[in-house]
Structure 1
Amino acid sequence: MPDTPPSLDSVQLRAYFALMEVAGLLRHAVEQQLREVGDLSYVQFQLLARLGLDSSTGSERMTDLADGVVYSRSGLTYQAGLLEKADLVTRTPSPDDERAVTVTITDAGRALLAKVLPGHTEVISRQLFQPLSRTDAKALADLLSPVRDHMRAAPPRSAAPRRRRR
């Protein structure tokens, strides 16, 4: 007989459902702002932000982007294709690995990122941080960081074997 999975107590369930509701409400508000101001999906914004804000070169390998934004490889390929058609990124073969593709943000991508970022940060500030004190915000970061690190300790999604369709 298989082991019975551990159950969640009422405190854990309350925390879980509160986190899921907050994440859903925040994502909805952010997506609305990104669509209105930049005609971007949340994933497209994540890609542009990782390339334009987090990468010193403005470039990243597709698999690293997929792992970073926690998105499927095929879904990311589709989103990067849409961004490339809009001249917001370019895709080229990776100089380090002939099987890999490198995505680079363009000047137009940087300009669009600069256009949507002020409203994006305003939504986050209003929705997430307005009801919290500075101490609360630090506590939230301190609570979520080890959870994120624990979840990220597993092998990246790009290292997982692909399932074959039958």
Structure 2
Amino acid sequence: MTDRRPSLDAVQLGVYFALMEVAGLLRHAVEQQLREAGDLSYVQFQLLARLGLDSPTGSERMTDLADGVVYSRSGLTYQAGLLEKAGLVTRTPSADDERGVTVTITDAGRALLAEVLPGHVEVVSRQLFQPLTRADTEALADLLSPVRDHMRSSPPRSAAPRRRR
């Protein structure tokens, strides 16, 4: 009888552990910088960055934000509430979905994002890109992009149907 369970060979296992370690170390360094520079969590920074840098209007639906940052609806609601209490975002009912909520970055949110972003970029540059050549960076992008796209092809957690209680 043959064992048909999926397995990883030694190289795949090594890549997996290296990737997890790199991600963990980078996230730790980034979170430390964000706490020191702006008293922000990583998720809060992601929300402000998506609204302030990626969104042409500075607004996004809560569900789209949750999908983008790969965070639960309830967790994102809590984080957005903290940002709203600090005056960094506003939340309003969505114009096109009566059950939806739109989050908008405020001027104070943009100012804090501008304050923490240079240090964030410096940490990412130093920790992730300093040991790599430009060719290494391009190769890494070529390797990670299809993996990310493959993982994103499944519905994100926030798009999954809610369980009835």
- What TM-score, normalized by structure 2, do the two folds share? 0.96
Matched, 1:9 2:28: no
Equivalent position of 2:141 in the other structure? 141
Offset at residue 61 of structure 1 (A): 0.2
Q: Unmatched 5+ residue regions in structure 2?
A: none
What is the rounded CA distance, in whole Å, between the counterparts of 1:114 and 1:45 in structure 2? 11
- Mapping 1:52-131, distance limit 5 Å: 52-131=52-131
Q: For 1:18, what is the secondary structure of its paired residue?
A: helix
Using the TM superposition, name which of 4-13 and 130-139 deviates more: 4-13
Equivalent position of 1:151 in the other structure? 151
Contact map agreement 2:38 2:112 (CA 8 A) in 1: yes
What is the rounded CA distance, in whole Å, between the counterparts of 1:159 and 1:36 in structure 2? 33
What is the rounded CA distance, in whole Å, between the counterparts of 2:113 and 2:60 in structure 1? 17
Equivalent position of 1:36 in the other structure? 36
Equivalent position of 2:20 in the other structure? 20
Q: Give the partner amino acid of 2:90.
A: T
CA RMSD after TM alignment: 1.1
Identity of aligned residues (%): 88
Contact map agreement 2:31 2:42 (CA 8 A) in 1: yes
Q: Give the partner amino acid of 1:13.
A: L
What is the rounded CA distance, in whole Å, between the counterparts of 1:7 and 1:109 in structure 2? 46
What is the rounded CA distance, in whole Å, between the counterparts of 1:30 and 1:12 in structure 2? 27
Contact map agreement 2:30 2:120 (CA 8 A) in 1: yes
Q: For 1:52, what is the secondary structure of its paired residue?
A: helix
Offset at residue 164 of structure 1 (A): 4.5
What is the rounded CA distance, in whole Å, between the counterparts of 1:75 and 1:157 in structure 2? 12
Q: Unmatched 5+ residue regions in structure 1?
A: none
Q: For 1:117, what is the secondary structure of its paired residue?
A: helix
What is the rounded CA distance, in whole Å, between the counterparts of 2:39 and 2:156 in structure 1? 29
- What TM-score, normalized by structure 1, do the two folds share? 0.96
